Amino acid sequence: MAAVNSFNDEGRLGFDPSLAVEHVRLSDAVLARVIDEIGPFRMLLRPAPSVFAALAEAIVYQQLNGQAASAIFARVCALFPSGVPTPEAMLRAPDEQLRSAGLARAKLLSLRDLAQRAADGRLLALAEINGMPDETIVERLSEVRGIGRWTAEMLLMFRLGRPDVLPADDYGVRKGFAIAYERELPSPKELAAYGERWKPYRTVASWYLWRVVERATARKIVPLGGAKEET
């Protein structure tokens, strides 16, 4: 099934969730039990006006909890007349103004690089992304300063609704696996190898593993925030 056509198609996944859940259930007895305990798959897509806006938000959210990141991103957006940062406006904004919103220097440099690439046409457009394989998208977006595999994978999952994404470097997914399977925290390589059985719906398995951690710690796991990323 094709991916969504717009970041604004909130809730429209690029796959059939009932079919995906059933596949994961049949492929793994442990996850089948997790699915029964957690309940229905409720992952929704997050809207954004552009690839630039989605990645700008992702950069701000890196290494911060959801509440702090949301406050900083809101202050960044408030700096622009439309309430939405654009590449051209981001490039014109003085460093002091952007730093006053709470941006660390590393994130400011990442946003500048992202904006420059968007302005001169080097950043992938949504139409291009929709026709690309996941790994190609990860490789292309990782060319941007401060954007690594994890951030690209979050965009694939929560903006594009791609069905087969396993962010093996994500601590929450690894921790959820350790809890569900009652074993030591797996390395990213170990998790990726085990996750082969969940293909082509590793996004569903990842979502349920996040929910395992959420249930165990009684705190909310916020996508696009709180995980380590390159700076």
Q: Is the pLDDT of residue 11 over 90?
A: no
Task: Give the pLDDT band (50/70/90) at residue 8.
Answer: low
Which residue did the predictor score with more confidence, 140 or 230? Answer: 140
- Where in the sequence of the chain do the CATH 1.10.1670.40 domains occur? 17-45+163-217
CATH topology of domain 51-158: Endonuclease III; domain 1 (1.10.340)
User: CA 229, CA 176: separation in Å to the nearest integer?
Assistant: 19
pLDDT tens digits, residue range 35-64?
Answer: 999 999 999 898 888 999 999 999 998 887
Which residue did the predictor score with more confidence, 218 or 20? Answer: 20
Which residue did the predictor score with more confidence, 100 or 230? Answer: 100
pLDDT tens digits, residue range 143-157?
Answer: 999 999 999 999 999
Q: Is the pLDDT of residue 230 over 70?
A: no
Contacts of 23 (CB under 8 A, 6+ apart): 198, 200, 201, 204
- Where in the sequence of the chain do the CATH 1.10.340.30 domains occur? 51-158
Give the CATH number of domain 17-45+163-217.
Answer: 1.10.1670.40
Which residue did the predictor score with more confidence, 71 or 9? Answer: 71
pLDDT tens digits, residue range 95-130?
Answer: 999 999 999 999 999 999 999 999 999 999 888 998
| Structure token pair of residue 224 | 């696009």
**pLDDT value of residue 200:** 98
Range 206-223 average pLDDT: 80
Contacts of 84 (CB under 8 A, 6+ apart): 49, 53, 77
Q: Is the pLDDT of residue 66 over 80?
A: no
**pLDDT value of residue 84:** 86
**pLDDT value of residue 56:** 94
**pLDDT value of residue 3:** 40
Range 158-187 average pLDDT: 96
pTM of this structure: 0.85
Question: Residue 166: left (phi > 0), alpha (psi -120 to 50), or beta?
Answer: beta
User: CA 198, CA 113: separation in Å to the nearest integer?
Assistant: 36
**pLDDT value of residue 222:** 45
Task: Give percent of the chain above pLDDT 90.
Answer: 76
